[in-house]
Amino acid sequence: MAKRIGTGEIIAQALRQGRRRLARDLGGPFRSLYLKNIRSPGLANLPDMPDRGDPLQGLKIMDGRFVLGSQALDVGAHGDPWSVPAPSPAYAEKLHGFGWLHDLTALGRSRAHVRKNPGLKAQTALRAGRLIDRWIDVYGGWNPFAWREDILTERLFAWLVNWTALLGHETEDVAGTRRETSLLRQLGQLRKSWRQTPEGILRLKATACLVIGASCVQKRQNAWLDRAMDMLDDEIERQILSDGGHISRNPQDVIATLEILIAVENALDKGGVTGSREIHRAMDRLGPMLSFFQLGPGQMAAFNGGGTGDARQIKAL
């Protein structure tokens, strides 16, 4: 017989939800003040990942057309997507997640496109920098949607792994310092709220961002780096099975996990830090499992919620 929910329990649940909503709404201004006090000590040894973006999508972004999933937003070559309404909440999540930076990186490194336009690499970096600067103008203080833990995690990972390719040339000027400061503010927020990210790949990615961030700050705090690595190790132990599969049994999660750990290992290696045994063991197991799930070049078996995968992403691994 189903348990009947009493009126008192319903009221208590409503009060809990109200407190959470109030804390979120009223906490924004105070959170913004806290974040503004964070200043950049400088960044170094950021990961430099293989290209896995689409240069053709990068060209569209250069023209101001953001195609994310089945929807698109056209803001013009000199416009930005932060001052116009997004087509849908799902589109806005992808937009604020900055995964499209991979496409600009791929375009700037595309030999075929650079051969036609020798200045393309600098142009893609300039476009990426302006889009990030404008995001900082509008959302850099704090915003309940843009700073939501899942979106924050995706954005941080995209910034960290594309920083060297797109933003690494502007580290001494005002714009470069402002971007570094924004990155560190977001890392500071994630450091406090990473447990609120959804369980699974996003939780693992959040802890990976904290490891990369801690290892790349020039005035590195070894205690915090050790703590972040412990958190990542815990997620690896929780999510990566002994056969190299992800606990979700979704083949695409194997791809995502391997990409995340490669970025972590890249950053640690550049910073002269030895990765943990858990990271190395997981990578050793994930590689063969990735091969096992492949039906052909760049194509994954589609089951347990996964698709056939992104051929460029698979090739980059």
User: What are the pLDDT digits (tens) for 178-215?
Assistant: 999 999 999 999 999 999 999 999 999 999 999 999 99
Query: pLDDT class for 317, splitting at 50, 70, 90?
Result: low
Task: Provide the β-strand partners of residue 43.
Answer: 217
Place of tokens 């406090």: 192
CA dist., res. 265 & res. 279, Å (int): 8
33: CB partners within 8 A, 6+ apart: none
Query: pLDDT class for 169, splitting at 50, 70, 90?
Result: confident
More confident residue, 200 or 32: 200
Task: Provide the β-strand partners of residue 294.
Answer: 300
More confident residue, 122 or 32: 122
- The pLDDT, as a whole number, for residue 118 is 95
CA dist., res. 124 & res. 165, Å (int): 10
**Lowest-pLDDT range of 7-16, 149-158, 243-252:** 7-16
SS3 content of the chain, % helix, strand, coil (to 5): 65, 5, 30
Give yes or no for residue 315 having a pLDDT over 70: no
* % of the chain with per-residue pLDDT over 90: 62
174: CB partners within 8 A, 6+ apart: none
**Lowest-pLDDT range of 37-46, 157-166, 223-232, 284-293:** 37-46
Query: pLDDT class for 34, splitting at 50, 70, 90?
Result: very low
Q: For residue 283, give the nearest of 306, 302, 304, 260 by alpha carbon.
A: 260
CA dist., res. 311 & res. 315, Å (int): 6
The tens digit of pLDDT for each residue in 263-275 reads: 999 999 998 898 9
CA dist., res. 153 & res. 167, Å (int): 19
pTM of the model: 0.84
- The pLDDT, as a whole number, for residue 217 is 83
Give yes or no for residue 93 having a pLDDT over 60: yes
Structure-derived torsion over alpha carbons of residues 43, 237, 307, 145, reported in degrees to the nearest 10:
-50
Q: For residue 42, give the nearest of 192, 168, 137, 180 by alpha carbon.
A: 180
Query: pLDDT class for 33, splitting at 50, 70, 90?
Result: very low
